Amino acid sequence: MGVASSSSMSKKAISSSKSRELKGLFTERVRLLQEEINGIVQEREKEAKSYKREWGLWVEQMSEERARRDEAVEKWKQLYLTIKMELDDLIQTAHCGEGRLCWRPEEEEVVEELKRELRAKEETIEALKSHLASLEQDKHKSERETDILRQSLRIMSSKNGALTTTGKI
């Protein structure tokens, strides 16, 4: 019995030693995985901050451009209204009575010039409106592309996280 007990105790000691060794290896492996996860999380947080900064700059640029565009459109509107009022005043002062217009030759040239300017300004306003509509479409397209890219980034991030977790365990 003494020999059997001694052999049983040495097996227990060896088993206990292996158990401690495996526990140490397991603990080390868990610590390494936690460090790797923390590194990945920090990297993702840096990427998110970078995207937020880029998005903020883009939004700021778009709002500045919109303000400039609105200001230009407002100036053209004011110019158009000023020319229109001047033409209306000229037409009112040119009536001689009985529904006839009395123009002096030099006034007629001025009126024709003003009409040409008015047509040119109206064409410019139409071109600006068309350009504004085009810019709005571009903005909408850019916003849509940004949303698609964000969604793709989320999908890629979640897939990479799943692959990293399943592939390294």
Comparing CA positions, the residue from 123, 117, 126 lying closest to residue 82 is: 117
| Domain map (residue ranges) of the chain | 59-168
Q: What is the pLDDT of residues 121-153, one digit of tens each?
A: 999 999 999 999 999 999 999 999 999 999 999
Q: How far is CA 147 from CA 28, 49, 98, 128, 166, in A?
A: 41, 16, 66, 28, 29
Q: What is the C-alpha to C-alpha distance for residues 24 and 32, in angstroms, rounded to an integer? A: 12
pTM of the model: 0.33
pLDDT of residue 154: 92
At residue 37 the predicted structure's pLDDT band, cuts being 50, 70 and 90, is very high
pLDDT of residue 63: 92
Q: Averaged over 9-30, what is the pLDDT?
A: 81
Q: What is the C-alpha to C-alpha distance for residues 161 and 169, in angstroms, rounded to an integer? A: 12
